[in-house]
A and B are shown apart, each in its own frame.
Chain A
Amino acid sequence: MWQRNLLFAVVCLFGFGMLASNILLRDHVPTPRSFEPSRFGNLTNVSSSATPANKQPEPKNDWQATLLKLNAEFEAKWTGEGLQTTPRAGDLTLARRLSLGLTGTIPSLEEIRALEQLPEGQRLEWWTSRLLEDRRFGNYVGERLARVYVGTEDGPLIRFRRSRFVEWISDQLLAHRPYDEMAQEMIGSNGLWTNNPALNFITVTTTEANKEQPDEVRLAARTVRAFLALRIDCLQCHDDNLGTNHLGDDGAPRESKQQDFHQLAAFFAPAKVGLTGIQESKDEYNFKYLRGEKEELVPAKVPYGDDLMSPGGSRRQQLARWTTHAGNKPFARAIVNRMWAIVCGRPLVEPIDEIPLHGPYPPGMEILAEDFVAHGHDLQRLIRLISASEPFLRSSTADFEITQQHEKGWAAFPLSRLQPQQMAGAMIQSSSLNTLDEKNAHIIWLLAKSQQTQQFVQRYGDLGEDEFTDRGGTIPQRLLLMNGELVQERTTQNLIANAATRIVVVTPSAEAAIDAAYLAVLTRRPTAEEREVFVPRLAAARRADRRVVLEDLYWVLVNSTEFSWNH
């Protein structure tokens, strides 16, 4: 009998030890393969105020060269507008921003511990590299991009596989696939949407109303908006009467016409769904213009940059090559603006998918677009440049009064409300001390996480495609966070499932426990004032009451503005 008791005691001790090791630090987070400590030299550690524009160091490589040019443009703007910049944000704040942008969740306590063991100058590079190799990056950014290409619709039941499409984007992102190739596959390829998931870009438009065939009008509107950040939807019905939508070549802007839209739609007219999936037919596109007397045959023609067209292949392939041509700058600008928004919470140009064809452009846009094209449409490089740039590094707080102007000009990092998916992801991650990724979390955890995220998002209210709209919280959202099931489940006492209980059980010191809770939920340590409130309370509590104190603290942190906003 004593042997069984001894075995039980050993098992308990082992389990306890494992729990404690999660909290009391251990670096078992591997070094990312792409980690290059000197990628940007020490440029990302020097505040702009410390490095005047006229004393920029000589670039040692093309990473630094682009970053220096990028920062110089912003610094010139700040100087020109007399905007004082906020100090550099702390490494943990930067890590939180990057995690939210690239994985839709927050760093785990385990990751924070590993990050803090690195030399200060290497942390950002290490963290960016780690996230870009994480499957969560593919899945989360894949979903964000899928919204741009196919919206949030369920789409036609048989001819559309949204989850396969998202998975495909995720795979491409992780495999470092050039973005122009991805776009070409979506716009121009043929075959079955199940074997070639990129084709769901086409098949999502095959509604019953369109006789279950691709809708060339929707495809034209979607293509220019998603890949070129041009909103010319209005042209489907009439010419641009307001004079706000200029097309035409560089140096020769002209008012846009209904023809511009429908000539684009004509590229998609031959696409048909058949037994072998999407194939090219000989169909032409006919349309009756607003003041036309009868339907007419519409030729396939692009609204600018005709010289970038090349013959050969199907109409869609021609359009795909034109869209992604190195000389078609709007293609690069569109994804720069999109990635900037994903990483920083707000785009450089608003609305995100309406960038004027003939400018003007804000600081950063042209430099990043040129670098993107020059380096093979490399999305990961683009993300690294954005996350190393001065605007991304700015704090969202200062000892001077921050105004809307500071945020607008990126002299202060702008606050942005978290997406519902980020809220759910952050809440679920905060309740675990380990990283909930595919490598470390059990499949049951991940399934539960996926289901809970869906339920939470449904109740919290999905923003759909309109996802960079900045608004305050609503009453139902507040109720969901104060009294909802997910928050209750993730904060209430549960030794197995919840970090609040685990922290208090294995951390004898009140101060260390409060620190751990703040790190796990808000990715920071408490302020002196917060410490003063919570540490004595936990220290004074005994046994079960200690769990109550931590449970309440978790509830408070999850319900704070800070948790719901990117900052």
Chain B
Amino acid sequence: MSTFTSPGSCNSPSHFSRRGLMQAMGLSGISFLTPLAEQLARAAESEPKGTQPHSLIVLWMQGGPSQLETFDPHPDTEIAGGSKDGSKSIETAVKGVHISENLPLVAEQMESISLVRSIVSKEGDHERATYYVKNGYRPDPTLVHPSLGAIICHQTQDNLEIPRHVSLLPNTWAARGGYLGDQFDAFKSQDPLGPVPDVRARVPEPRFEQRIKDLSVVEGAFARGRLKNLDEGRTLHRSSVEAARKMMSSEQLAAFDVSKSPEALRKEFGDTSFGRCCLAALQLVEVGVRCVEIRLDSWDSHANNHEFCRQLNTTLDPAFASLIKHLRERKLLDRTMILWAGEFGRTPRINGLGGRDHWPHGFSMAVAGGGIAGGRVIGETSPEPKLDEKNRLQDVADPRAVEDVHATILTAFGIDRQKEIQTPIGRPMALSQGKPIRELLV
């Protein structure tokens, strides 16, 4: 029996809805939802009324971070790895909300962060799951869906000289424009200690200018006898050359550079490549960049899970916490939303190598900042899961689909999530097939 039965390719809203999941839960007799979670989950069931965010920063945890060693710990249980060696939790700034003991700085910022601990998906393969979580639709061979960042850029307008959509430390699955067009692909850049790629001319300016002048001679020869509006209507060559040159000389490029930031500030972010990227993201949203994606790799902890997670949390903790703190200090937190997510979670059992395997049946995401009510927790995973393959949902309270997070974010940005876009082949496609998680919205 195939597992591929969600409407990944048909855009039908009827199969994977929250209501359906809730009904399924009801049938499965969920009994472990705590009063606190229930209280938090029922808070603020209303339309967003706070300030709309301007920018989105996606902290992308490639490999699938363990929910148990990040935002959904179950200390002193078997699934934590036992009461002796198992992972522990700490209190946060929000009473009753505990997270991993290895995220103490993030814990201090918890009033600005909300958690969804009950994300369920059917994609357990890195590539397919990455596609699903980044784009809000399951892979569809007939279509490439746009990422959240691409949709937000497509639905808004800015007057920037540098790219509005940026991916820092990308791998081959960086955020894409999909059917919206590759002009909405994220601009890829590496560690901000190094130069921004391809923005410096390789020859002195006068020589570069001469090259551009000569280019117009060749362009003129090519345009002769062709379509009337060849450049504007088809190739966009001249406009892309002009925009590229504008970017090359833009002062806004400095936002990518953290080398001039005070050393103390860099250290506060952790002074790792991920930390430096978070600092760069702060600078980028400050100049008006819409969407920044930052990748923290190596969460694929099939062996030695606890040590893996401890190390990665050492990188994540100062960067994530400092990002929130400095966005607030610079009065940018209200206009910047942060999404912390990976492609799936990890199994609630430790394997023979001390690792955890892929687990899309109940994992965590965190959202913070603009448009988001902080300190809330949606859903729960069972501390004593039954792990029945035929009824995964019985181990998850208040399950939410990946696309519901997308719908929530788009709603917070004031974007009509149900708006249909015509794909290049004329197929109408809703921006999101999810339903907003109202409890998260301000």
Chain A residues within an 8 Å CB radius of B141: 151, 218, 221-222, 225, 233, 465
- Any B CB within 8 A of the CB of A176: no
B191-228 CB contact bits vs A (8 Å, 1 = yes)? 00000011111110001001100110111111111111
A399 contacts B225, C-beta separation under 8 Å: yes
- Any A CB within 8 A of the CB of B244: yes
- Any A CB within 8 A of the CB of B234: yes
A471 contacts B181, C-beta separation under 8 Å: yes
A203-239 CB contact bits vs B (8 Å, 1 = yes)? 0000111100001111001100100000101101110
Cβ contacts A to B, 15 pairs, < 8 Å: A209-B122, A209-B360, A234-B9, A237-B5, A237-B10, A237-B15, A354-B425, A397-B224, A401-B228, A415-B235, A475-B183, A552-B214, A559-B215, A560-B222, A561-B231
Task: Report the bound CA distance from A291 to B224 in whole Å.
Answer: 59
Chain B residues within an 8 Å CB radius of A233: 9-10, 140-142
Specify which of B7, B123, B188, B222 is in contact with A561 (CB 8 Å cutoff). Answer: B222
Stretch of B124-132, B330-338, B396-404 with 4 or more beta carbons under 8 angstroms from chain A: B124-132
Q: Which B residue sits closest to A154, measured CB to CB?
A: B127
B199 contacts A483, C-beta separation under 8 Å: yes
Task: Report the bound CA distance from A415 to B126 in whole Å.
Answer: 37
Stretch of A26-34, A384-392, A525-533 with 4 or more beta carbons under 8 angstroms from chain B: A525-533
Q: Which B residue sits closest to A471, measured CB to CB?
A: B181
Name the 10 nearest CB pairs between A and B, nearest first: A472-B236, A397-B225, A479-B198, A217-B2, A208-B124, A478-B244, A234-B10, A561-B237, A562-B222, A209-B124
A509-537: which residues lie under 8 A (CB-CB) from chain B?
526-527, 529-530, 533-534
B214 contacts A553, C-beta separation under 8 Å: yes
A70-85: which residues lie under 8 A (CB-CB) from chain B?
none
B220 contacts A478, C-beta separation under 8 Å: no
Chain A residues within an 8 Å CB radius of B248: 479, 483
Task: Report the bound CA distance from A471 to B234 in whole Å.
Answer: 7
Task: Report the bound CA distance from A41 to B248 in whole Å.
Answer: 55
Stretch of A125-133, A310-318, A455-463 with 4 or more beta carbons under 8 angstroms from chain B: A455-463
A474 contacts B197, C-beta separation under 8 Å: no
B227 contacts A403, C-beta separation under 8 Å: yes
Q: How far is the CB of B133 from chain A (nearest CB, A)?
A: 14
CB within 8 Å for A478 and B9 given contacts A233-B141, A562-B218: no
- Any A CB within 8 A of the CB of B311: no
CB within 8 Å for A479 and B10 given contacts A402-B227, A461-B182: no
B138-191: which residues lie under 8 A (CB-CB) from chain A?
139-144, 163, 172, 179, 181-183, 185, 187-188
Task: Report the bound CA distance from A295 to B5 in whole Å.
Answer: 13
Chain B residues within an 8 Å CB radius of A351: 142, 425
Q: Which B residue sits closest to A222, measured CB to CB?
A: B141
Task: Report the bound CA distance from A540 to B233 in whole Å.
Answer: 39
B142 contacts A231, C-beta separation under 8 Å: yes
CB within 8 Å for A153 and B4 given contacts A209-B122, A483-B199, A484-B198: no
CB within 8 Å for A472 and B227 given contacts A415-B234, A560-B219: no
Given contacts A209-B4, A209-B124, A483-B199, 7 further A-B contacts (CB under 8 A): A225-B141, A237-B5, A397-B225, A401-B228, A478-B240, A527-B221, A534-B214
Chain A residues within an 8 Å CB radius of B40: none
- Any A CB within 8 A of the CB of B247: yes
- Any A CB within 8 A of the CB of B90: no
A123-162 CB contact bits vs B (8 Å, 1 = yes)? 0000000000000000000000000000101111000000
B142 contacts A556, C-beta separation under 8 Å: no
B4 contacts A210, C-beta separation under 8 Å: yes
Specify which of B3, B163, B202, B243 is in contact with A483 (CB 8 Å cutoff). Answer: B202
- Any B CB within 8 A of the CB of A555: yes
- Any B CB within 8 A of the CB of A482: yes
Specify which of B124, B227, B230 is in contact with A207 (CB 8 Å cutoff). Answer: B124
Specify which of B5, B7, B143, B240 is in contact with A472 (CB 8 Å cutoff). Answer: B240
A556 contacts B235, C-beta separation under 8 Å: no
Q: How far is the CB of B344 from chain A (nearest CB, A)?
A: 10
- Any B CB within 8 A of the CB of A306: no
- Any A CB within 8 A of the CB of B12: yes
Q: Which A residue sits closest to B208, measured CB to CB?
A: A482
Task: Report the bound CA distance from A552 to B211 in whole Å.
Answer: 6
Count chain B CB atoms within 10 A of each CB in A265, A461, A469, A483 and give the residue with the most. Answer: A483
- With an 8 Å Cβ cutoff, the count of chain B residues facing the other chain is 73
Specify which of B7, B144, B172, B203 is in contact with A466 (CB 8 Å cutoff). Answer: B144
A441-469: which residues lie under 8 A (CB-CB) from chain B?
458-459, 461, 463-466, 469
CB within 8 Å for A479 and B199 given contacts A209-B124, A210-B4, A463-B182: yes
- Any A CB within 8 A of the CB of B358: yes
Task: Report the bound CA distance from A407 to B227 in whole Å.
Answer: 9
B182 contacts A156, C-beta separation under 8 Å: no
Task: Report the bound CA distance from A287 to B5 in whole Å.
Answer: 10
Chain A residues within an 8 Å CB radius of B3: 209-210, 215
Q: Which B residue sits closest to A155, measured CB to CB?
A: B127
- Any A CB within 8 A of the CB of B27: no
- Any A CB within 8 A of the CB of B1: yes
Q: How far is the CB of B146 from chain A (nearest CB, A)?
A: 12
Chain A residues within an 8 Å CB radius of B227: 402-404, 407, 415
Q: How far is the CB of A237 from chain B (nearest CB, A)?
A: 5
A556 contacts B240, C-beta separation under 8 Å: no
B211 contacts A556, C-beta separation under 8 Å: yes
Q: How far is the CB of B186 from chain A (nearest CB, A)?
A: 9
Chain B residues within an 8 Å CB radius of A561: 219, 222-223, 230-231, 235, 237
Task: Report the bound CA distance from A483 to B202 in whole Å.
Answer: 6
Count chain A CB atoms within 10 A of each CB in B4, B221, B241 and give the residue with the most. Answer: B4
- Any B CB within 8 A of the CB of A396: yes
B10 contacts A473, C-beta separation under 8 Å: no
CB within 8 Å for A483 and B124 given contacts A208-B358, A459-B188: no
- Any B CB within 8 A of the CB of A557: yes
Count chain A CB atoms within 10 A of each CB in B125, B139, B188 and give the residue with the most. Answer: B125
A265 contacts B2, C-beta separation under 8 Å: yes
Q: How far is the CB of B234 from chain A (nearest CB, A)?
A: 6
- Any B CB within 8 A of the CB of A476: yes
- Any B CB within 8 A of the CB of A62: no
